[in-house]
Structure 1
């Protein structure tokens, strides 16, 4: 049976068969001298990044603490809606809708369907739902003449 000999993977010198390393002492020393400067420069870069992150954290922390002295508006306070002239259109922040004299506007989507040739009209009480459907029907292949309207609230 042939004996397997170990050789240095860098220079090829024959190694002792009991040696646990794959390269000779001389090649390991050369590798170490190349490795140490790379390690130092990497450590400097990591330290610099850590310092920048630490400074940003401190800056955000101090600006947050400074904002404690600024008085805040309490959103739970009952803020009266401004008075509006009769027949004036205004945005009601409580209901998130356009209103006139306390009555909400109707949001109407009208479109012509190519499949049946009829004009369809859909009324919405919520502006977001109405506009989402308006955008939906505008993008469909079978619809045309898509319109979005704010219809005044019916007179009482």
Structure 2
């Protein structure tokens, strides 16, 4: 009698273990599927607009965007973005801006200001002012962009 009770208890324990195992497998697969979906929906490159300027008679527009590249951490299941470049998108006023000038290796952390000077409706001169370690501001470079191209 006691042996039968032990056998029943063992069988019950085995079913419980199998049930828990199946639950963990299903939960793990579900999480994995959700992770794959999240990765597929996240763009590999993301832009954040921080300055827009229009030509004097609203013929052209420029839009400064900080570009970030996606990094996927499979172990911790995290998606992060890190700065990769500066893009200046340009095109006709009111249209979707698809053309851009990309400045790779451009250090945005020391930029104090961008001064945008339109020369007519197509040519724009962008003065880049940076902040020195001592706190002073200086003109570092001028970016020339022809928005009619």
TM-score normalised by the chain length of structure 2: 0.31
Q: TM-score, length-normalised on structure 1? A: 0.29
